[in-house]
Amino acid sequence: MLKKSENPTLLEKGRQGESVAAVYLQRHGYTIKERNYRISKYEVDILAEKDNTLVFCEVKMRSNIKNGSPEYNVGADKLHKLTRAAMLYLNYFPYAGAVRLDVLAVNPYKDGFEVKHYKDVLY
């Protein structure tokens, strides 16, 4: 569990959520390869690797659980964009291992954050 910072702006909240997710992934044995990776008109929040699997991660955060769970804001359009970004990335940087698309939902929880990790979101 990570501690919250005081009154972040909207952009800072997004970056904070991505930082929380990156720490979560590292604590669970992932290597962070890229953050906020832009390819063409697409962006991947976190590109990570674990056990010969390249993982393209979308991170969503809510500052308040009263606004609903952040994972419900990852719709078909966002998943299509993440898939397209992954395909373009792999065209430039072929990868011999498995590839996966994940969603990490970051929720405020007491004095820190709770992370929900949804693996293989397209299957």
- At 43-90, the pLDDT tens digits run 999 999 999 999 999 999 877 666 667 676 777 888 999 999 999 999
User: Per the domain annotation, does 3 fall within a domain?
Assistant: no
Q: 70 Cβ partners below 8 Å, 6+ apart?
A: 17, 60, 61, 62, 105, 106, 107
Structural domain span for residue 110: 10-118
Integer Cα distance of 64 and 83 in angstroms: 28
What's the predicted TM-score (pTM) here?
A: 0.85
Residue 113 belongs to a domain with what CATH number?
3.40.1350.10
The answer to whether residue 1 is domain-embedded is: no
Q: Is residue 123 part of a domain?
A: no
Evaluate whether residue 5 is within a structural domain: no
Between CA 1 and CA 44 the distance in angstroms is 24
Neighbouring C-alpha atoms within 13 Å toward the C-beta of 116? 13
Residues 101-112: pLDDT tens digits?
Answer: 999 999 887 788
The answer to the question of residue 43 being in a domain is yes
In a domain, 90, yes or no: yes
Give me the number of domains the chain comprises: 1
Q: For 3-55, what is each residue's pLDDT tens digit?
A: 555 555 655 666 788 999 999 999 999 999 999 999 999 999 999 999 999 99
**Does some domain include residue 67?**
yes
- Residue ranges of alpha helices (H) inside 1-123 are 10-27, 76-92
